[in-house]
Structure 1
């Protein structure tokens, strides 16, 4: 099943994105060879997708356990009132172990992904850094046991 992403993208753009989703380090000339177009065409298409905000740069994906960050968890945050939301987001953004922060619907106001070195580090982060933020009413923590799927959507 193919997903219509943006009316400004055509089949070649989607093919380029699929190649880059599989391996973002694929050289432009290799993409051009696979797509049967020139390297210049790939450069132009990439620039277009960057200009319209479809591609937001590149990032390095780290193997966190190999760096000593063995605990991954998700923290559901109850914010006490809407006026506290900005302060909560600002303060949580200062905690380096929070690697994702989402404003959500449903039970929680905010959902955070946290990586840390140990359960005792997690306890410290929760007790002394997250739960002390003014505006946080309470939190629920879910420890990830494994991550069997880690992928981008296929276009």
Structure 2
């Protein structure tokens, strides 16, 4: 992709491209690849962090290796829009929810959930999500596989 982002030049884009491909690339290696000093990379990284383009780094864990074999998506219907903040606060306390979106369309909230088993998913739905005041009903989609896991490429 070719991005024209105000405040970024070709070196910044080159740095981002390297990090998207391997976020663990050391700054000195990036500097060598870009033919600049390590200090220049530090300054550019700080600039992009200050601009909010880089929001940190994250560890990616293979959940199935830890026994969490069920990935699903849950569409949550609210009884009324004013219930959103109360429901959101309750959903934030549920560790199995790894991603949450306030959406348009059929669902008010769309959640990505990771569980150990279908029995755990059932328990989660009944005792944790559907019991929240303001949740009218849910619609669950179990992911069978994830053939594409794409990051933005520059």
Shorter-chain TM-score bucket reads over 0.9
Cα RMSD of the aligned pairs, angstroms, is 0.9
Q: Which deviations, in whole Å up to 9, do the C-alpha atoms of 1:61-83 show, x marking residues without a partner?
A: 11100011000000001111111
Aligned residue runs from structure 1 range 5-154, under 5 A? 6-154=5-153
- Cα displacement (A) at 1:3: 2.5
Across the two proteins, how many residue pairs are aligned to each other? 154
For 1:107 and 1:11, locate their aligned partners in 2 and report how far apart those are by CA, in whole Å: 42
Q: Distance in 1 between matches of 2:9 and 2:114?
A: 38
Q: Quick one: distance in 2 between partners of 1:119 and 1:79?
A: 24
Unaligned runs of at least 5 residues, structure 2: none
Query: How far does residue 45 in structure 1 lie from its aligned partner after superposition?
Result: 0.2
Gaps of 5+ in 1: none
TM value normalised by structure 1: 0.96
- Quote how far apart the aligned CAs of 1:143 are: 0.4
Per-residue deviation, residues 83-141 of structure 1 (Å, max 9, x unmatched): 10001111011000000000111111100000010000000001110000110111100
Instruction: Output the TM-score relative to the length of structure 2.
Output: 0.97
> Could you report, residue by residue, the CA deviation over 1:36-81 in whole angstroms, capped at 9, with x for unpaired residues?
1111110000000111111111111111000110000000011111
Structure 1 stretches of at least 4 aligned residues deviating more than 3 Å after TM superposition = none
